[in-house]
Amino acid sequence: MAAPKYLKRYFKVRRNEMPALFKITERIPVQFDSGMQLEKLRKIHMQEIEEYRKLRENLELEAANALACTDPSDRLMLLTEVFLELPKASPSLLDLKVAIVDRIMEKCHCCGWRCGVNRKAGEKGFCRLTDFSNYASEFLHMGEEPELVPSHTIFFTGCTFGCIYCQNWDISTCPEDGTLIEPRKLAKLIDLRRMHGARNINFVTPTPHVHTVLKIIREISVNTPVVWNSNMYHSPEIAEILEGVVDVYLGDFKYGNDVCAQKYSKIKNYLEIVQPNFEFAYRTAEILLRHLVLPGHLECCTKPIAEWVAKNIPHIRFNLMFQYRPCYRAMEYPELGRRLTPEEEVRAIDIVKEAGIEYLLI
Ligand code: SF4
């Protein structure tokens, strides 16, 4: 069977034929003092990300050369060199990312809400999270997209959206429930799950927990693709931080306009935040986009999303999802109080095909 044309790098990391991006980032040495002003730290980050890009390019070239080698034992030896190329640095670019996010939390602008609260001092913004991170569950998920399973999935509590139809409302609306995360312990579990067959580590609703996610990743020993399973509502500052950390954005694209986003998820500036994040993700990593079709929202949401994707981020994997069912407070909105009709499903497929979406998963 021919190799898929999408998520090419991901498949190589999954097979340990290429280092995950965080494995490159943790090899870039950086000089900084965590007491520096946030802007100074970001300036250093901007310079050092160039070093990361150069190293990534070199390693990918070397890995490609190794994979082109026909002798299996020579191929393995050459790949070993790629993974050994540079020792882990201390402090590294990954440490700098941890320090920057730690400062961002003091006037929180991790997401598009930009609440400005000091979460380290116990203040809470829209997500109602201070600086702790809990997870509701962690397990080998067999129900994600076929290219991801088995996927080591970690469901964080809390959320930056207020979707009235949330299927996980018991987790998203109760940020203080669940198990308190100890980054080293969870990283060890990630190592073990990977050794036991997980194809990736899949962080669900990670944005308000980005500080903890980075600390976990810093402690991971194995080579594993990092999947950012999110609503793509992170701030531009966090988007910069995610370069060199996230291999695959498993990103929801929910709405084709801000009116629907505000009505159903309480988000006023949806497109202004989400579209640039998809574009940045497209330039710096790979994307598996999810679009949950909402009943009655084909022309206002599905259509503009499909057209925008085909124009701006064409070579991505696009998962068109029909599993909407009215959950949580959806019955308060009669138009969302039902499942999709078969006619709507057919129409949604026509829309994405007419838009020219290439790598469609239905
Ligand atoms: S993560 Fe977003 S919603 Fe939560 S406090 Fe920060 S800016 Fe506000």
Residue 181 belongs to a domain: yes
Does residue 129 lie in a domain region?
Answer: yes
What is the per-residue burial (b if ≥16 Cβ within 10 Å, else e) of 191-220? bebbeeebbbbbbbbbbbbbbbbbbbbbeb
By C-alpha distance, which of 2, 3, 13, 4 is closest to 285?
A: 13
User: What's the per-residue H, E or C state across 179-226?
Assistant: EECCHHHHHHHHHHHHHCCCCCEEEECCHHHHHHHHHHHHHCCCCCCE
Residue 1, pLDDT score: 62
Distance CA 204, CA 213 (A): 10
Distance 335 CA to ligand 1 centre (A): 29
The alpha carbon of 130 and the centre of ligand 1 are apart by a number of angstroms equal to 9
Kindly indicate the confidence band of residue 137, based on its pLDDT and cuts at 50, 70 and 90: very high
pLDDT digits (tens, 9 = 90+) for 254-282: 999 999 999 999 999 999 999 999 999 99
Q: How far apart are CA 309 and CA 193, in angstroms?
A: 34
Q: Is 190 within a domain?
A: yes
Mean of pLDDT values over 295-299: 98
- From 101, 106, 108, 270, the mutation candidate for ligand 1 (largest count of ligand atoms within 8 A of CB) is 108
**Of 292, 293, 294, whose CA–CA distance to 333 is shortest?**
294
Q: Work out the average pLDDT over 116-128.
A: 98
Does the N-terminal peptide bond of residue 304 adopt cis geometry, omega within 30 degrees of 0?
no
Integer-rounded Cα Rg, in Å, for the chain is 20
Q: Is residue 354 a part of any domain in this protein?
A: yes
Residue 83: pLDDT band (50, 70, 90) is: confident
- Dihedral over Cα of 302, 277, 224, 357: its sign: positive
Between the alpha carbon of residue 322 and those of residues 170, 291, 300, the distances in Å are 22, 9, 16
Give me 27's structure tokens.
């090899």
Mean pLDDT of 58-70: 92
- 217: in domain: yes
Count of residues making up the chain: 362
Residue 248: closest CA among 206, 187, 216: 206
pLDDT at 247: 98
In the predicted model, what is the mean pLDDT of residues 110-129?
A: 98
- Structural domain range at position 267: 97-361
Beta carbon of 108 within 6 Å of any ligand 1 atom: yes
* Number of domains observed in the structure of the chain: 1
Q: Is residue 65 situated within a structural domain?
A: no
CA of 231 to the centre of ligand 1 (A): 13
Q: Are 63 and 12 in contact (CB under 8 A)?
A: yes
Which CATH number belongs to the domain containing residue 235 in this structure?
A: 3.20.20.70
**Phi, psi at residue 198, to the nearest 5°?**
-65, 140
Residue 13, in any domain of the structure: no
pLDDT digits (tens, 9 = 90+) for 172-223: 998 989 999 999 999 999 999 999 999 999 999 999 999 999 999 999 999 9
For position 222, what pLDDT does the model report? Answer: 95
Asked if residue 356 has pLDDT above 90, the reply is yes
Q: Are 319 and 361 in contact (CB under 8 A)?
A: yes
Answer yes or no: is 171 within a domain: yes
Mean pLDDT score across all residues of the chain: 96
For residue 251, is pLDDT > 80? yes
* Spatial separation of the C-alpha atoms in residues 141 and 150, rounded to whole Å: 6
Output the residue whose Cα is nearest ligand 1's atom 1: 208
Task: Tell me, rounded to whole angstroms, the distance of Cα 4 from its chain centroid.
Answer: 21
* Ligand 1 binding pocket includes 126 (Cβ within 6 Å): yes
Compute the average pLDDT of residues 57-78: 91
